[in-house]
Amino acid sequence: MTFYEKELYRIRSIVYSNEGQINTVIGIRNYIENNYDVNLNLDLLSQIQFVSKYHLLRLFKKYYGQTPRQYLINKRIEKSKEHLKNGMSVTETCFAVGFESLGSFSTLFKTKTGKSPTKFQKEQLSRSIIDSKFGTLEYK
């Protein structure tokens, strides 16, 4: 084995030493992305990747800067905004994105966005009406 081959192996072992961890958290993130609308918990997520729930919690926080629960909530709020913009009712949106309580959904939505779901939807609808009548304005 040449010097360069040894160096390549040495560098590769440093760079890819955490490949298993990275694959674990990416797998969990992808699972959340595709299943945000069902009841997800840490026990279920850890079983999917065959890892301790406490280890999963640490890994996810290390790589994404938030817990799987926080990531799930943010994904649900993001999707709920899309549903509300498309005219879905607040109640339908709440259950479509996986919340089990309209009250907790509304409170969480307002905490994250600064507006209630109803107010957010009204603003989006009025914006779309203005845009359709006058077109979008561009500033140069």
Task: Give 15's pLDDT tier (boundaries 50, 70, 90).
Answer: low
**Side-chain-side CA neighbours of residue 16 (13 Å):** 6
Q: What is the mean pLDDT of the chain?
A: 89
- Residue 140: what pLDDT? 44
103's tokens = 């009250």
- Residue 22: what pLDDT? 86
Domain boundaries, the chain: 3-132
Cα distances (angstroms) measured from residue 99 to each of 58, 87, 128: 25, 18, 27
Question: Does residue 3 carry a pLDDT above 80?
Answer: yes
**Model's pTM, two decimal places?**
0.79
Which CATH fold would you assign to the domain 3-132? Answer: Arc Repressor Mutant, subunit A (1.10.10)
By CB atoms closer than 10 A (0-12, 13-18, 19+), residue 121 is: buried
- The model's pLDDT over 80-91, given as tens digits with 9 standing for 90+, comes to 999 999 999 999
